[in-house]
Every structure is written in C-alpha cells, then in structure tokens.
Structure 1
Amino acid sequence: MLTRLYFVRHAHSIYTPDERQRPLSDRGLLDAEKTTKLLLAENIDYVISSPYKRAIQTVEGIAKYIGKEIIIEEGFKERKLSEGPVKDFDLAVKKVWDVPSFSWKGGESNQTAQTRGVHATIQLLNRFEGKRIVIGTHGNIMVLIMNFFEKKYNFEFWKELSMPDIYKLEFEKEKLRTVKRIFEKEILLF
C-alpha cells in the first residue's frame, strides 16, 4: 500500500525578521491559488504544515477544499541557519551541505535539521499509511528530508527549486519508491 506525500515548498514571501509570521507576498498568494488547483486532482486526505505562516498560507487552500484543518508539525519548519542574518546566504547554506555536522552560531547543522524532518516524516508514514498527505514546508528542510531517502537530492538540487514547488514522494512503508515533480515553472504563467 503506497503512501503519497506531497511536499509543498512555500510560495514567495515578504521578508521579515520574524520567521514564524513572515507572510506571502501578493505574487505568493496568487501562486498559492495555483498550487491549490494543482493539488485538487490528487485526492488529498490530510494537510500538514510547518508552523510558519508562509507555509500555512501556501497550503490552506487545499485544506479548505477538502474540509480539513491543517495539522501543524514543528518538524517541518525551516532549518535555522544561524542566530542572525548571514553575509552570503548561498555560501552559508553550501557550507552546511558540504560539512553536515557543521552549524553556524545559533543554527542547526544539516544532521540536526535532517533528523528532525525525517522523524516527522516517518511519524506521518506510520500514522497515515496509504493516504495522500500535503506537507507545507520550506526548501532546505524539504531537500534534507528527500536527501535522507535518496542522496541525489542535495545542495545543487535545492538551488534549482522554485517558489512554490511541489514534489510527490511515494512510499511503501518507510521505503521511498518514486519522486515526481508536479509543479512546473510554466504553471506560474496562467
């Protein structure tokens, strides 16, 4: 029996230093509507989200459509890169990917963030076996989770993600069987 997880990287947001309350931009809100339209065809059973507003806003449309409350899961929040802003974001992210045990001051290493995200994923797979679950989340933690199950999902893959983005992962028990991107950049044009 396959369990299908739809990892939804949040849409474009307005930068604020408050990670939890950062909202979607106008463009992000439009893209969240398009995300909902794409997910309508997938017969979704449950919607889970990071506690961050931008992730919740990206998946709330599909939750309303199926008539279910969004289940908040801390394990899917974005990895904390550092205590404060970094000078070069891409370089800072590359460093933690190059050295998985390394963390910037006040931040999470790849190992720590991945363990958190994978734990949340395994719990979902066991709790909702055979179901179709949307997970509103963030780029780095999403790729760290995917990387645990298949090493080709790495820093280079992360750099190619769009905002929003959707990856459908099919599992048999806790074994990853297939990964398919169901959000194409062209979808942003309609």
Structure 2
Amino acid sequence: MTNLYLVRHAHSIYTPDEMGRPLSKKGLLDAKRITNLFENEDIHIAISSPYKRAFQTIEGVAHHFNLDIQIEFELRERKLSSCPIDDFETAITKVWEDPSFSLKGGESNEIAQQRGLACIFKILEKHKGKNIVIGTHGNIMVLIMNYFDVRYDFNFWKNLQMPDIYKLSFEDNNFKSISRVLINEFL
C-alpha cells in the first residue's frame, strides 16, 4: 500500500505575498501538534507545496523522521484570479459551480485538478509502497480528493479545518480509500 497524507496547512498570517505567507502563532502550535500526531507513524517521504505555510506545517514531521522536504510546485494552491477579488465568496462559488469556468488569469477547477492529479500520479509512481506526508492547501486538496470520490465537493471544502489531514490509500496505483486522520484531540 502507498499512503498519501494530505495535510492542509495550519492557520497563517494573511499577507499579499502568497508564496511567503507564514504560519500564525496558532498555526505554529498546530504544526507541532501535527508532528506529535505522526510520531508513531512510519513516514518515508515528505513533500510540500512551495508555499511557506504548507512547508512550515509539515516541517516538524520531516525533521522527526530526518527527511528532506521535496518541493512540488504543482501542489500549490489553485490560483483563483490574477486580479484582486472584491467578493471572494461569490468568486469561489462560481468556480465550483462550473468546473470549466475561470476568472481572469485564474485556474478553473478542471485545470487545477488536472495539475494536482498529475503531481499525485507522479508521486505514486515514484514512491510505491511508501507513507508520504504532503503539505498542501484546501482547494487543491479537495479537488484532488474529488477526482477519487465526488463526495469531496464545495460544501466539503467549506467545512475543512485548518489544519486538516486526509489519508489516501492506494494499492499499486489503484485508489482504495480516503479517510480523515482525526487531529481534533491534538488541536
């Protein structure tokens, strides 16, 4: 079995610098709790989006297992638009209602999902039989999960926690299951 632990990043401090946005004090504390959660697992590989908040969320896990974090640019958050968005709720609802729709300079659900899946399938091919922790983001994570099970949709995304962890299990490259890793007792 290959197990992918998709870790939605912990709470971050908002800045316009999408790549460099760091975890907040609460986010850093939650990242330590995630490290504690994985202490008794057997993690072989650590992979992250290039965004600082995703990297910081799994950094302690990687350190605990003496792993370098591999950066996968394709696991970055979906780009909603290249222009400032006045009404985020309306914009995000629209892209989820119409999977092929994109705002100016942004990615549609279809495009973002294809990007994320290409990366996931590459990881599965390269790391068969491994347990892999992956630092990523809510929208791209749910779009990836939605490919395997349509129950992971817009309403599901709206209820994600920050952080949140979902385990995707594969036998060879065949999808088997998705399960939530319960972290509430740690947060």
What TM-score bracket applies, with the shorter chain setting the length? Answer: over 0.9
Matches for 1:1-190 after TM superposition, within 5 Å: 2-188=1-187
Q: TM-score, normalised by structure 1?
A: 0.95
Contact 2:146 2:153 in 1 (8 A): yes
CA distance in 2 between partners of 1:121 and 1:136 (Å) = 12
Taking the aligned partners of 2:92 and 2:169, their CA distance within structure 1 comes to 27
Q: Conserved in 2, the CA contact under 8 Å of 1:101 and 1:110? A: yes
* CA deviation profile, 1:29-60 (whole Å, cap 9, x unmatched): 00000011111222100000000000000000
The structure 1 segments of at least 4 consecutive aligned residues displaced by more than 4 Å after TM superposition are none
SS of residue matched to 2:168: strand
Query: CA offset at residue 173 of structure 1?
Result: 2.4
Q: Provide closer, same or farther for how the CA distance between residues 183 and 84 of structure 1 changes in structure 2, counting only shifts above 3 A.
A: farther
Structure 2 counterpart SS, 1:20 = coil
Q: Which runs of 5+ in 2 are unaligned?
A: none
Cα distance in 2 for residues equivalent to 1:185 and 1:125? 28
After TM superposition, give the deviation of residue 75 of structure 1 in Å.
Answer: 1.1
RMSD of aligned residue pairs (Cα, Å): 1.0
Q: Is the 8 A contact 2:37 2:183 kept in 1?
A: no
Give the conservation status (yes or no) of the 8 Å contact 1:82–1:107.
Answer: yes
Cα distance in 2, alignment partners of residues 25 and 65 from structure 1: 21
- Letter of the 2:71 counterpart: I
Aligned partners of 1:185, 1:102: CA distance in 2, in Å? 35
Q: Measure, in 1, the Cα distance between the counterparts of 2:154 and 2:132.
A: 25
Say how many residue pairs are matched: 187
Between the aligned residues of both structures, percent identity stands at 57
State the 1:184 CA deviation: 3.4
